[in-house]
A = this chain, B = another copy of it.
Amino acid sequence: MIMTVGELGESGVLARVLARLGHAENALVGPGDDCAVLRSAGDTVVTSDTMIEGPDFRTAWHDGRDLGWKLAATNLSDVAAMGARPTALTVSLAVPRDTPVAFLEAIASGLDAACRALAPGCGVVGGDLGTAPVVMAAVTALGDLEGREPVLRTGARPGELLAYAGDLGLAGLGLSLLFERAADEDGRALAGAVDALHAEFGVPLAAQLAPESPVRLGVAASIAGASAMMDVSDSLSIDAARMAEASGVSIELDSSLLAEGFSEQRGVHVPVSAMLTGGEDHGLLAAFPAGAALPAGFRVIGRVAESGASEATRLRLDGAPLEPSGWDPYTVRWPGS
């Protein structure tokens, strides 16, 4: 018999979830009071990101553990992108009453595993549980700048190098595979087909379902002198254009550098077009002064130039204007949603 959250009740579910979560090093007070209490060495960074069943994930594709991992990774990478060390997460979960308790336990395990792997010392310090017609998870991540200045997206300067660390385009390829091979003709997710896909396309699927954001490289980039940094969540072209606009510069991407650095990722061939438009990799895009020693993991993919004469020339690929493309959750209607 499968125990559901409606049968077990809030306090029972909470106890099961908390049992899966490790301690956050900076937490003076963890879950269980009105608030958690955190001690920081420097200024605090904070970010929130939500995943909702339908537009953001399908339970037919995402098991609980991968979902928990992705929830943590997407937020940790935003903290990393400021040059901060992640210290704590809060997690708000709302699920239908008939959801198995084991699904929430798996989410907790995934959150914990991602913290341990990507940001040791960080842990879940609070949150809440509720009911909703679909699975909804809102995560807030906090980080400690430890006395360093934050690395903003506004700091890129002409003459600097543009570099990237992490998967690039793999998560987008994973999503394409899921729609092509694990969905019906109306775009509805089919659970049965996912196991076979994992066997054949494990790398892009894992990149999509449980991304390995290079969280530790955020602090490393800051120490190495990064002048601007961003988490790439929507797509390289969209996020590079955002950095160019925020910094008042233009950005020149170089397809041969992209191909050299990222054509072959863990045995998978990734075309440059997929690198430019695929979203959800949660890698780090950073600008470094020309003489900087880049931390291992960053590869140069272009350079920062003077602001173009118009919006259309903010972003260029091999010298030609490049239209940023990716997706907007409000305007892209997913099939079946």
Contact = CB atoms under 8 A, between A and B. Distances in A.
A55 B90 contact: no
Interface of A: 5-6, 8-11, 13, 28-29, 32-40, 43-50, 52, 54-56, 78-79, 81-82, 84, 88, 90-92, 94, 97, 125-134, 136, 138, 140-143, 145, 150, 152-154, 229-231, 246, 328-331, 333
Contact of A48 (B54, B128, B131): B128
A-B residue pairs, 9 tightest by C-beta:
A138-B138, A35-B45, A140-B140, A34-B81, A48-B90, A35-B47, A34-B78, A50-B92, A92-B138
Contacts of A32: 246
7 contacts: A37-B150, A40-B40, A50-B136, A54-B133, A55-B130, A94-B136, A97-B330
Contacts of A56: 130
Contacts of A130: 50, 52, 55-56, 329
A214 B134 CA distance: 34
A52 B92 CA distance: 11
Contacts of A8: 330
Contacts of A5: 330
A35 B28 contact: no
Contacts of A231: 34
**Among A11, A43, A47, A81: residue with most chain B CB under 10 A:** A47
Contact of A132 (B84, B136, B145, B328): B136
Contact of A94 (B33, B36, B52): B52
Contacts of A329: 10, 129-131
Given A134-B132, A330-B10, A33 B140 contact: no
A277 to B, nearest CB: 17
**Among A9, A132, A143: residue with most chain B CB under 10 A:** A132
A19 B205 CA distance: 39
B52 A44 contact: no
Nearest to A84: B35
Contacts of A92: 48-50, 138
B40 A44 contact: yes
A133 B56 CA distance: 12
A230 B34 CA distance: 7
Given A90-B140, A136-B136, A126 B34 contact: no
Contacts of A97: 330, 333
B38 A46 contact: yes
A126 to B, nearest CB: 6
A38 B81 CA distance: 16
A87 to B, nearest CB: 9
Nearest to A228: B33
Given A130-B329, A138-B138, A45 B52 contact: no
Given A45-B35, A153-B34, A330 B131 contact: yes
A35 B46 contact: yes
A125 B46 contact: yes
Nearest to A140: B140
Contacts of A331: 6, 9-10
A109 B7 CA distance: 38
